[in-house]
């Protein structure tokens, strides 16, 4: 009888043995749970201007904690999820600063001397373009600078920006949307050109604005009228989404993946969450807050679907031959 040693390298989808299947299954589950534990979907940050702190919490409002303390009156917030940074404007010191998401590494980027800041109530980021945009309320300017605070410029906007309060960027269409405390909502191109009036009536003291470009809507709070509303991107079709009891709403941000609005209620010292159509109102933070300003969400890439991880595991296993098997014939 002739004995031959034949080395067979079995690859997945060519000759899948039971042992190989369970190895693949184990690897896929390991990857799945690894991503689940490592990747946090998102987090929210709140400017607590009476408590001189920036606070953080989970999206459901749990695990409320101080992130940055020892400030004066932090109000306006923006999050750079690409570089894991929080930016804020402190109207008590007229500073724009940033830190890591855990509050470490605080940097002062713009001061009253370098940026001419007097009461900045709004800030947003164009991370891919390397710019921050912010309001100068008392100076009635919208300005922008590099993310490190350098190269500050005041945008030239037709009609001016009297008492520009807060702003949001629509980077899909290269637009700035902002609210003016005098009672207007406007937009312009990122360089300040092409300014348009969107809403000029029915406003008391609009406080914050958030744009859903894909959904064709922008949302705003009005602290004077105690309302939360939305309209089409051109200002038409205004809808009132105000939840019962909302008092002095300031901050506003959108979780477009989950279809949620987050709003701070300064008169109630709480944070509320509701669906984009105004339904499903929840009080998610009702204790542990003083006077609250803006709110900003950090969104991370979601954990991959199990089928994606299964295929990834398949690809990894396909890179390596299984052990040699000696066959006697």
* Dihedral pair phi/psi, residue 34, rounded to 5°: -60, -45
Tell me the sheet residues that pair with 80.
Answer: 85
Tell me the sheet residues that pair with 138.
Answer: none
Which residue, 297, 243, 231, is CA-closest to 267?
A: 243
Q: Is residue 5 part of a domain?
A: no
Number of domains in the chain: 1
pLDDT score, position 311: 55
pTM here is: 0.81
Domain that holds residue 90: 42-56+66-299
Structure tokens at 199: 């809403």
Q: Is residue 1 part of a domain?
A: no
Q: Is residue 293 part of a domain?
A: yes
Supply the DSSP string of 26-89, one letter for each residue.
Answer: HHHHHHHHHHHHH---EEEEEEETTTTEEEEE-TTS-S-EEEE-S-S-EEEEEEETTTTEEEEE
CATH number for the domain harbouring residue 90: 2.120.10.30
What stretches of 206-245 show up as alpha helix (H) in DSSP? none
What stretches of the chain show up as alpha helix (H) in DSSP? 18-38, 112-115, 306-318
Q: Is residue 37 part of a domain?
A: no
| pLDDT per residue as tens, the chain (329 positions) | 444 444 444 444 444 455 555 554 544 444 444 444 444 434 899 999 999 999 999 999 999 999 999 999 999 999 999 999 999 999 999 999 999 999 999 999 999 988 877 789 999 999 999 999 999 887 789 999 999 999 999 999 999 998 899 999 999 999 999 999 889 999 999 999 999 999 999 999 999 999 999 999 999 999 999 999 999 999 999 999 999 999 999 999 999 999 999 999 998 999 999 999 999 999 999 999 999 999 999 975 444 455 544 555 555 455 444 444 444 44
Q: Is residue 35 part of a domain?
A: no
**Cβ count near 128 (within 10 Å):** 8
Which residue, 153, 217, 139, 145, is CA-closest to 185?
A: 217
Q: Is residue 108 part of a domain?
A: yes
Q: Is residue 188 part of a domain?
A: yes
Q: Is residue 265 part of a domain?
A: yes
């Amino acid at each position: 009888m002739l004995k031959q040693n034949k080395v067979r390298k079995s690859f997945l989808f060519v000759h899948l043995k039971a042992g190989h299947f369970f190895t693949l299954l184990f690897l896929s589950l390991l990857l799945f749970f690894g991503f689940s534990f490592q990747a946090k979907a998102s987090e929210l940050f709140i400017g607590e201007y009476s408590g001189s702190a920036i606070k953080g919490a989970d999206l459901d409002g749990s695990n409320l904690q101080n992130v940055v303390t020892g400030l004066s009156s932090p109000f306006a917030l923006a999050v750079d999820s690409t570089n894991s940074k929080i930016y804020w404007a402190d109207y008590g010191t007229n500073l724009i600063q940033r830190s890591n998401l855990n509050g470490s590494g605080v940097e002062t980027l713009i001061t009253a001397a370098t940026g001419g800041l007097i009461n900045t109530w709004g800030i947003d980021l164009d991370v891919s373009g390397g710019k921050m945009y912010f309001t100068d309320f008392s100076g009635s300017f919208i300005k922008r600078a590099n993310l490190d605070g350098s190269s500050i410029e005041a945008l030239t906007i037709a009609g001016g920006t009297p008492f520009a309060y807060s702003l949001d960027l629509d980077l899909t269409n290269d637009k700035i949307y902002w609210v003016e405390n005098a009672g207007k909502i406007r937009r312009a191109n990122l360089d300040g050109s092409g300014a348009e009036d969107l809403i000029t009536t029915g406003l008391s003291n609009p406080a914050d604005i958030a744009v859903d470009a894909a959904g064709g809507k922008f949302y705003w709070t009005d602290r004077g009228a105690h309302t939360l509303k939305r309209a089409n991107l051109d200002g038409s079709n205004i809808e009132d989404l105000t939840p019962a009891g909302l008092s002095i709403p300031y901050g506003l941000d959108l979780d477009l993946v989950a279809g949620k609005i987050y709003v701070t209620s300064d008169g109630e010292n709480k944070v509320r969450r509701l669906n984009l159509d105004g339904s499903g109102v929840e009080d998610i933070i009702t204790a542990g807050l003083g006077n609250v300003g803006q709110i900003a969400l950090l969104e991370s890439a979601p954990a991959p679907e199990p089928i994606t991880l299964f295929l990834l595991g398949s690809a990894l296993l396909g890179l390596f031959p299984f052990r040699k098997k000696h066959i006697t014939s």
